[in-house]
Structure 1
Amino acid sequence: MLGAARHLAEAVPVRRPPAPAEDRRTGVVVLEDDDALREHILLPGLQDFGFDVVGAASAGGLYRAMLERGFDLAVLDIGLPDESGLSVVAHLRKVSPRMGVVMLTANRERDDQVRALSHGADAFLRKPVDIEVLALTLRNLAQRLAGVEASGPREPAAPAGRWRLQSDGWCLASPEGRVVPLTASERSVMRALDARRGHAVAREALIAALVQDVDAFDPHRLEMLMHRLRRKAAGIAGAGEALPLRAARGVGYLLAG
């Protein structure tokens, strides 16, 4: 059965018509046999960071998913019920050489890392994996595969030494090109602020970018989101690179120009 699925996966995958660059989400397939980890942590977590994610519980499930569509990236567990994740990545290298592959394992042994990378994996992360770290690893890998030159977690420096959103809005780049991956909520707020850079944006307008029912939204959640954005940016920023996200008293917030 697995052999048949493998054979079919070698056919050209069915692809949907390309979406506009700004709307197209990077396609990721997650191969993880732990149902709770896959369905309740990895899939919703990566979806929140803007990826178009499909899950599979076995190697056979992965190959069947590849029949339905093409994927840009794969996240693979090493220990699987029907086939080693190491043989899966070796197979993917043959049938989809342009697919980026990140391996996951709960094993702390160095040998797993060496074997995964030698089989063709692009990156290796240990469980329990931080979703933000995984999202940034996938973003960097997608950029590199798309031909964006980078040195570590960087992209070309922002113009005139300022922070900016990447073209698809899912990452925030510092003046030195360091990258912060954004969740769906953070992306919505940053796009609203960036559209009126240098001008105060009312709290109500920012909340409206997050939810439909503005009156049912707790304003403290907006304050917490802004605090989290500043903290995330500070975690990757160099000296003198603080994100110019400021509170406008009595109005809302502004992103300085």
Structure 2
Amino acid sequence: MQILLVEDDAMLAQAVGDGVRQQGWELDWVANAGAAKTMLVDHGYNAVLLDLHLPGSSGLSVLTALRERYDTTPVLIITARDQLSERVRGLDAGADDYVVKPFQFDELYARLRAVLRRSQGRVAPLLSCGELQLDPSRREVTFRGQPAALSLHEYRTLFALMERKGRPVTRSQLEDAVYGGNGHIESNTIAVYIHQLRRKFGEELVITVPGLGYRLGEACA
């Protein structure tokens, strides 16, 4: 299990990290929202421990960016005892649970195990396109019955296209799905991922729609 901790208190982060590793999990730590968004774009985590009070930008912006690109990674909010309204906003924005500071570490790890179990038990509909299948629950792709190896960004590009099967998807929509609006994106980046998907699954998989963007081919109709 790989966990991302987003927390600006270095002492608390060290204590949480030590305990998480004792559970047998791996942990990355960042101290601000910008770094968290970058890490979540570049890595696939099993869960996120997210403090809402971060320097520069609220942790809520991290959660919003995650959910806007259809990323269902479990998020456990770390919040102050007197911030009920923040807990409500976090849950409404797609958080899976919260733990209140100051907390007992045993409670934190128990809640983290619970959200991990729930995420593993979620049933999401399989997305299909001819001989291609995508399982959102497991983040797995199979082609002609065999597992297909995709990078994280290729997976997110394919997922965005399959979510909108039959409809054109603009480059801007794909960028948001892949990167969550985080940072500067080179103009040909999405085209590269489309090229990689065509190379792996056939040129007919993705059709270019002039002036609009891309859509899945006729095999997915």
> Larger Cα Rg: Structure 1 or Structure 2?
1
Deviation per residue, 1:33-63 (Å, 9 max, x gap)? 1111112x11111111122111000112112
User: What residue in structure 2 maps to residue 169 of structure 1?
Assistant: none
Q: Does the CA-based 8 Å contact 1:46-1:131 persist in structure 2?
A: no
SS at match of 1:121: coil
Output the CA distance in 1 between the equivalents of 2:44 and 2:117: 17
Within the candidate set 63, 81, 91, 2:55 is matched to 81
Matched, 1:33 2:8: yes
The counterpart of 1:42, out of the listed 2, 7, 16, is 16
Greater strand fraction, Structure 1 or Structure 2? 2
Distance in 2, matches of 1:67 and 1:116, equals 20
TM-score, scaled to structure 2: 0.52
SS class of match (1:126): strand
Q: How far did residue 69 of structure 1 move? A: 2.3
Identity %: 30
Q: Which runs of 5+ in 1 are unaligned?
A: 1-25, 150-257
CA-CA distance at 1:68 after TM superposition: 4.2
Q: Distance in 2 between matches of 1:124 and 1:143?
A: 15
User: In structure 1, how many angstroms separate the alpha carbons of the residues matched to 2:40 and 2:62?
Assistant: 13
RMSD: 1.8
Equivalence map 1:1-257=2 (5 Å): 26-39=1-14, 41-95=15-69, 97-147=71-121
| Paired residue total | 123
- Where does structure 2 lack aligned partners over 5 or more consecutive residues? 124-221
CA distance in 2: counterparts of 1:98 and 1:113, whole angstroms: 18
What whole-Å deviation, never above 9, does each CA across 1:61-102 have from its counterpart, x for those lacking one?
112323442101001001110211112111111235220000
Provide Cα deviations, 1:106-146, integer angstroms capped at 9, x if missing partner. 24132122111111111011111222111111111111111
2:49 partner amino acid: V
What's the TM-score once normalised by structure 1's chain length?
0.45
Q: 1:135 to 1:96 in 2, by over 3 A?
A: farther
